[in-house]
Structure 1
Amino acid sequence: MIIDRRFSFRNQADNAFTMIELLVVIGIVGVLIAILLPAVQAAREAARQVNCKNHLHQIAIALHSYHDVHRSLPTGCFEWRYFRAPPTLRQFAWSAFLLPFIEQQPLHERIDFGLPFDAPKNADAAATRVGTYECPTAPQRQLIRAQTDYAGIFGELLVDNEQDDGVFLYEKPIRFVDILDGLTNTLIIGEDVGGPDSEWINGRNVFAQAFGVNDTEAPPFDNEIRSLHGGGAMVLFADGRTVFLSESIDRTLLGRLITRAKREPVDTTNL
């Protein structure tokens, strides 16, 4: 039997892609990827926001459990190191005292609270990452001690100059009964992604809010409510509510939400 090879080769050539057709297909695939990629990225960020909110919810439960046991919230900073203070001051953060209530009892036991937070004996424990204290959207930074992306609110400078009018203070634990503005109207913790003192063991993990949310005017050396979520940041109210706070929130309202006992009128219905 004689096979017509010319006919066979011609059929194969007719069934193959031409260069123009291949380029068209590649172009279509590229357009589809360009269309779908933002949607995929948005879905991933939405999932990260949910995870971030869940972390704050866990912290809220832990704070209420701590209050049930100790009849107060943890102090914002224990033995604050003021300017030129002796390095023997221990300067432990509220988040270090909260460890047993976020299922980190073994880590809590590794810390020698009789020594400063940055004592060599505490170095290994201080470098241990705690997932509950990290926002999934925030990048990992090269710090000496493990980072936290959530900070206690010491007070505000948006309504007046009395900056220690928040909940997480130096040397002074606050009780729920001290929050005269009401637990539903008082912010106690906010995201502080990229802050200069964002270490969960370090008592500098508290701040007085002086700018708006995600405010580009805030200096990088200042701790503020800020995140890498587009349009706002996650915050925690004293009653345990977690809210995505818009960066367009009025600054005066933000300041009033931070103060614990000034009885200012606030409206949280649209937050």
Structure 2
Amino acid sequence: MRSRRFIMVNRCRKRSPGGFTLVELLVVIAIIGILIALLLPAVQAAREAARRSQCTNNMKQMGLALHNYADANKAFPNGCLMVLNNAGASYPTHIRPWSVAILPYMEQAGVANQYNLGLPADTSITFWRWPASVTAVAANAALGATVISTYICPSAPGGAGRTITASITAADMAVLGGTAGQMGQLYSGTLSFPMAPMDYSSFHGVGGPNNTGRFGDVAWPPGSPNRPSSGDQYGALPVAIYNNFPPLAGVGQMALTASLAEITDGTSNTMLLAERVGGPTLYTKGGAALDLTPVGLPPAKFAALNGGGWINPFNGIGTLYGSAWTVTIANFSANGPCAINCTNMTYKNMYSFHPGGVNMLLADASVRFISETTEPFVIGSLFTRNNGESFSLP
């Protein structure tokens, strides 16, 4: 009797559960989600800090190469060297951007030795003209597909894996204000060529005052001290145009090379290079890519005009005109007051995917991070080499 009662009591006892209840499981999942949400920004920030550090190191290497070039040649290279054909014809036939000039000074002598200064860099489309012969640019264009890791910022979308193919016809120039007649003066077909990425740019200078809407009118408003008289103001790596080839046999028509002694504003107050990443894709404020197809200029065509490859002369021919970016396609080429991270279009802006600003290489070979909130006067002063401004970077 006792044993039967004992069995019945045991059967009536509740058994303890052997695992998590659904509610407990959901609580654990929620806690894990919160921890991930808290940690993810820190992880992303750490990764971006590493990418920005690599980008800074790249610029320091280029700074050393530029100074070694200056030591050997008594001056910095031109941002873009152009030699006119037949003593002043209206199109250049020999082009060399700064990124080609410094190759021997950054352990790329093998690539540099293959570059033919007697031929255009790629399409020779500066001034919106084609070269006389498609085959004339083949060797240099093929060389431009060589990936040079120092020229690539790891923060740029795609990094070294970007595939850049430039392809443009004579009629495409009408989209950017040129004419088919200009482009087709010498060649009316289509040129297509690959380019390895380039995320750094020199600037001829800053778009001077008295040119309505350009950045110079923002940096030096009427009546302000040190306001230049007119015209574009030259930087440390200006564009140079010569009448004859080889270039040293000709007379320069535009700003010649600048020696260290000619940077009278001070090497710590004058820029050499700045980031302009992401080419050939056109990026807008906030890092969004703009689809240019509606205006008839898809990426392959835009690549020929916006740089993006280290052999493309448009990485050294631009002047800081500023941007009036309003996130509309119709406004993508307008000049304006924004100089940093509004667009990576040539002639317009410095641009990076680092939050809040861009890296800039100064003429003393140091690299500084320039904030988007930097005063226009300071930015304009950094872009000139001998305008006499007095300022200090934060």
Per the shorter chain, which TM-score range?
Answer: 0.7 to 0.9
In the other structure, the counterpart of 1:178 is 262
Partner of 2:40: 37
Counterparts of 1:28 and 1:219, CA distance in 2: 41
**SS at 1:89 equivalent:** strand
Corresponding residue number in structure 2 for 1:187: 271
Larger radius of gyration: 2
- Where 1:23 maps in the other structure, the secondary structure is helix
Residues 199, 80 of structure 1: CA spacing in aligned structure 2 closer, same or farther, 3 A cutoff?
farther
The alpha-carbon deviation at position 149 of structure 1 amounts to 0.8
Asked if the contact 1:215/1:226 (under 8 Å) is kept, the reply is yes
Q: 1:208 to 1:221 in 2, by over 3 A?
A: closer
Runs of 4+ in 1 over 3 A off after TM superposition: 218-223
| TM-score normalised by the chain length of structure 2 | 0.61
- Report the Cα offset of residue 246 of structure 1: 0.5
The answer to whether the aligner puts 1:100 opposite 2:104 as a matched pair is yes
Alignment of 1:250 onto 2:360: no
Displacement of 1:194 after TM fit? 3.3
Shift of 1:80: 6.4
State the percentage of identical aligned residues. 35
**Deviation of residue 114 (structure 1)?**
2.1
Whole-Å Cα distance in 2 between the matches of residues 52 and 143 of structure 1?
20
Contact 1:213 1:233 in 2 (8 A): no
Number of residue pairs matched by the alignment? 259
Separation of aligned partners in 1, 2:349 and 2:308:
11
Decide whether the 8 Å contact of 2:205 with 2:384 is kept in 1.
Answer: yes
Contact 1:91 1:202 in 2 (8 A): no
Residues 1:255 and 1:221: Cα distance change in structure 2 (over 3 Å):
closer
Question: Could you tell me how far apart the structure 2 residues matched to 1:113 and 1:102 are?
Answer: 19
- Gap change, CA 1:85 and 1:21, over 3 Å in 2: farther
Which runs of 5 or more structure 2 residues have no equivalent in the other structure?
Answer: 1-9, 123-136, 166-194, 208-215, 221-227, 241-255, 280-305, 323-337
CA distance in 2 between partners of 1:267 and 1:174 (Å): 22
Supply the RMSD in Å over aligned alpha carbons.
2.5
Q: Quick one: distance in 1 between partners of 2:98 and 2:64?
A: 14
- 3-state DSSP class of the match of 2:272? strand
Cα deviation for residue 108 of structure 1 reads: 1.3
Letter in 2 for 1:245: I
Partner of 2:145: 127
1:54 to 48, 52, 57: 57
Letter paired with 2:94: R
Tell me how far apart the structure 2 counterparts of residues 136 and 123 of structure 1 sit (CA, whole Å). Answer: 24
How far the C-alpha of 1:45 sits from its partner, in A, is 0.5
- Aligned partners of 1:129, 1:224: CA distance in 2, in Å? 24
- AA at the equivalent of 1:143: I
Map 1:139-158; keep pairs closer than 5 Å: 139-140=157-158, 141-144=162-165, 145-157=195-207, 158=216
Q: Structure 2 vs 1, CA of residues 194 and 162 (structure 1 numbering), >3 Å: closer, same or farther? A: farther
- Name structure 1 gaps, 5 residues minimum: 1-5
Q: What's 1:110 paired with?
A: 114
Q: 1: CA distance between counterparts of 2:105 and 2:61?
A: 9
2:76 to 64, 73, 79: 73
SS in 1 for 2:360: strand
- Shift in Å at residue 113 of structure 1? 2.4
Task: Give the 3 Å change call, closer, same or farther, for CA 186–221 of structure 1 in structure 2.
Answer: closer
